[in-house]
Structure 1
Amino acid sequence: MYDYAIVGGGIVGLSTAVALGKRYPNAKVLLLEKEGQWAFHQTGNNSGVIHSGIYYKPGSFKAKFCRDGSRSIVQFCQEHGLEHEICGKVIVATKPAELPLLDNIYQRGLDNGLKVEKISAQAVNEIEPHVRCLAGVRVYSTGIVSYKQVCQKYAEIAASQGADLRLSTRVESCIRTTEGYEIATSRGSFTARFLINCAGLHCDRVAKLAAATPPAKIVPFRGEYYELTPEKRYLVKGLIYPVPNPNFPFLGVHFTRMIDGTVHAGPNAVLSFKREGYRKTDFNLRDFTEVMTYPGFWKLMSKHADQGIQEMIRSLFKAAFVRSLQELIPEVQSADLVPTHAGVRAQALLPDGKLVDDFLIEREHHALHVYNAPSPAATSSLEIGSAIAAQVPDLQTSQIALNS
């Protein structure tokens, strides 16, 4: 029998395995991942940004974990020789109506204890010569990294600590017993005294398998990107972001120089008709039906119909996507952009139509469920893993019962 079984081999599941190994070195840890490689879904398809935490409500888990995580992930990369760069970023206002929102972003950065600076359009152009704007905020602690490489190192560390890491092992049932859980998978059955659900896009379903009641449903949003052609990469030196809509959880299309030197533009945010739907044509009847019959989705749509329509237009028509990018860099033309990989965000949605805007982790009996951990979860992964390890019982010194 294992002490802890983790479901999900993304960055949160792997960082949790590392944290458990450090906190409870004698514990038997099992990690189950249905894909054949680590970080296959959300983690492996994100923008690779080390976020600063400037956007998040002061005092929230996102704000604290991201601020601390932006330091700990850099230290981790330094310790293990992983390529990374602290390049900073600029957030820019391109319209007069955005200037008060830019001031709010600047103040939030100060409230979150970050090194930020309000700068003029001229100062922005000293950093990013091709940007057109009215003013900007410079954020110094933002960086870039390959989170796939980070996850590979997490897996190596967890294995060296003694964790049993199982790829290509899909959880099919999870039955609560007097001693914990019996977990049936595509590659045999396992027993564990405590279950940790880090299943990302499928976390609500895994919770139900474990007889828990998820407080929210996962609704998948696809983020579609373009990539600047090599001869146009000179247009972007680092990271360029617009002022985000404060009523929408996505940051708007932006430019990101990746750690490999490529420059990605995007993403938009459109409803995916499949939880793992990376292409416009991907469709899964169960996934689609669950969203369409969920009252919270229609309540969300009634509040954000305008933004949703704009996102769909950008998805369907490249010209509309390009126009959004030209608000930041007017020189960008359609021919300068080629499609690149998309990502899917697992967004927890409450029955009343409100998007869960913070990390959401709940403890129940012999289990702990991570119900909402989208961006900046990768930046915050070491902090989230440590927080999870701190919440689970020490099974080496205590006994727990299902009715406790």
Structure 2
Amino acid sequence: MVYDFCVIGGGIVGFSTAMKLGELQPGARILLLEKEAAPGMHQTGHNSGVIHAGIYYEPGSLKARLCREGLDSTRAFCRNHGIPYDQCGKLIVATDEVELRRIETLYERAIANGLSLERMDSRELARREPNITGVAALFSPETAIVDYVAICRKMAMLVQQAGTDIRYGCTVDRIEERADRVDIGAGEEEFQASRLIVCGGLQADRLARMAGLEIDFHIVPFRGEYFQLPREKSGIVKHLIYPAPDPSLPFLGIHLTRMIDGSVTVGPNAVIGFSREGYPKFSFSLRDTLDFAGFPGFWKLIGKYRSHAVKELHSSLSKSAYLHECRKYCPSLTIDDLQPYRAGIRAQVVNARGEVVHDFLFRQTARMLHVCNAPSPAATSALPIGAMIAAKCLEH
């Protein structure tokens, strides 16, 4: 059988795309291939679970628009399908005058994006969050938390009920575009589809090369390492607590995150991952390491952020250094409070100039659409991203 559409990738973006294709093309024959045994096993299942409001993004940008749409559509999806979420809100805390100027810039950007933020001085911050110290803060009342794997599983159930053929444990190792179809191979299995959409996440660059595309970027895996606070400290904060981000760096910094199960995590840092899908500490893949080590853009990136890279590595190897970052705004934490928790790995696209790619990156041919970069907050924005990808595929 020749499918109308084949989607590679069973994360939240892949399933959102399959769901939207089914809505736009009722009766279409859709196939989704996922190499793991269940949905959302990688980036979807290893993030902080935050439904972002879009504070950080350039006013009028695609990321800002998709995040805003994603905030609303994700909450609506949860309400419609009985998935719990908690609109606990987020505080972005400034601990000195430099950070105070940073959050003032953020405030202006958020207002330009149509968000409602509340400014707080140190007294109001202390009243709302007695365990948090800072000179000022911004409060985002719309930010929420959720279990994205639960959302992804619900999407998988919905698309399967609508007739999508889902194949788990199916690792794609061949892609060949022909004049009238795309041939997809996975071991001894062969599939054909009129259109192919690749939402490969951590493997997006390899799948693009496999399909014969010429690309000038690599995915560099960045490990985000978290700790979990002991249960007796789950009430240490009422909101999500974020630092004032340094605009010269590509990551937000270590924060305190309430989780939907009632626990509180601390993190993440951002260190080079030596295995794209190796979540235990010190995981190593020779193939993955040689892949980015042989890419000149990686070394340009490290040269640009070398002092920050050393600092992040130090925090990874030293729990005391990690604790120091946390205690800037939560001084009551101790070394014993930092208990083991799962890590996440971010598929960071880096171009040949050594620049971090922050925007969406697509490669499209007559019959293929490769989603090479769906940047953070892709989980929050998954529903409108899926709609955008489906429309892009159908319009071509």
The reply to whether TM is greater than 0.5 is yes
RMSD between aligned residues:
1.2
Deviation readout 1:263-284 (Å, 9 max, x if unpaired) = 0000000000111121232111
Q: Does 1:303 align with 2:318?
A: no
Q: Which residue matches 1:130?
A: 131
Q: Does 1:229 align with 2:226?
A: no
Measure the CA separation in 1 of the matches of 2:390 and 2:116. 30
Letter in 2 for 1:299: K
Q: Which residue matches 2:338?
A: 337
Note if contact 1:58-1:111 (Cα within 8 Å) is conserved in structure 2.
yes
Q: Which residue matches 2:28?
A: 27
Question: Identity of counterpart residues, as a percentage?
Answer: 45
Note if contact 2:34-2:171 (Cα within 8 Å) is conserved in structure 1.
yes
Letter in 2 for 1:359: F
Structure 1 residue 140, shift from structure 2 partner: 1.3
Measure the CA separation in 1 of the matches of 2:336 and 2:184. 51
Structure 1 residue 187, shift from structure 2 partner: 5.6
Note if contact 1:222-1:277 (Cα within 8 Å) is conserved in structure 2.
no
Q: Does 1:158 align with 2:159?
A: yes
Q: Which residue matches 2:174?
A: 173
Q: Which residue matches 2:77?
A: 76
Note if contact 2:93-2:241 (Cα within 8 Å) is conserved in structure 1.
yes
Unaligned runs of 5+ in 2: none
Measure the CA separation in 2 of the matches of 1:393 and 1:241. 39
Deviation readout 1:222-257 (Å, 9 max, x if unpaired) = 000000001122212220000111122211000000
Note if contact 2:358-2:375 (Cα within 8 Å) is conserved in structure 1.
no
Q: Does 1:391 align with 2:367?
A: no
Q: Does 1:220 align with 2:217?
A: no
Q: Which residue matches 1:104?
A: 105
Measure the CA separation in 2 of the matches of 1:101 and 1:361. 32
Structure 1 residue 10, shift from structure 2 partner: 0.3
Deviation readout 1:144-167 (Å, 9 max, x if unpaired) = 000010001100111122111111
Structure 1 residue 322, shift from structure 2 partner: 0.4
* 3-state SS of paired residue (1:393): helix
Q: Which residue matches 2:279?
A: 278
Alignment of 1:16-95 (within 5 A): 16-95=17-96
Measure the CA separation in 2 of the matches of 1:61 and 1:218. 21
Note if contact 1:224-1:267 (Cα within 8 Å) is conserved in structure 2.
yes
* 3-state SS of paired residue (1:392): helix
Unaligned runs of 5+ in 1: 395-399
* 3-state SS of paired residue (1:235): coil
Q: Which residue matches 2:270?
A: 269
Letter in 1 for 2:73: S
Deviation readout 1:75-126 (Å, 9 max, x if unpaired) = 1100111000111100010111111111011111111111111111122223
Measure the CA separation in 2 of the matches of 1:37 and 1:215. 31
Letter in 1 for 2:121: S
Letter in 2 for 1:59: G
Deviation readout 1:278-324 (Å, 9 max, x if unpaired) = 12321111110111111111111111111111110000000000010
* 3-state SS of paired residue (1:15): helix
Measure the CA separation in 1 of the matches of 2:144 and 2:91. 12
Q: Which residue matches 1:292?
A: 293
Measure the CA separation in 2 of the matches of 1:128 and 1:140. 14
* 3-state SS of paired residue (1:98): helix
Q: Does 1:252 align with 2:253?
A: yes
Q: Which residue matches 2:327?
A: 326
- After TM superposition, the structure 1 stretch with the greater mean CA deviation from structure 2, 116-125 or 20-29, is 116-125
Measure the CA separation in 2 of the matches of 1:364 and 1:61. 22
Structure 1 residue 127, shift from structure 2 partner: 2.3
* 3-state SS of paired residue (2:26): coil
Deviation readout 1:355-404 (Å, 9 max, x if unpaired) = 0012223322211111112420000000000001111127xxxxx8xxxx
Q: Does 1:348 align with 2:349?
A: yes
Note if contact 2:224-2:268 (Cα within 8 Å) is conserved in structure 1.
yes
Measure the CA separation in 1 of the matches of 2:320 and 2:9. 38
Measure the CA separation in 2 of the matches of 1:270 and 1:229. 24
Q: Which residue matches 1:397?
A: none
- After TM superposition, the structure 1 stretch with the greater mean CA deviation from structure 2, 272-281 or 162-171, is 272-281
TM superposition score normalised by structure 2:
0.98
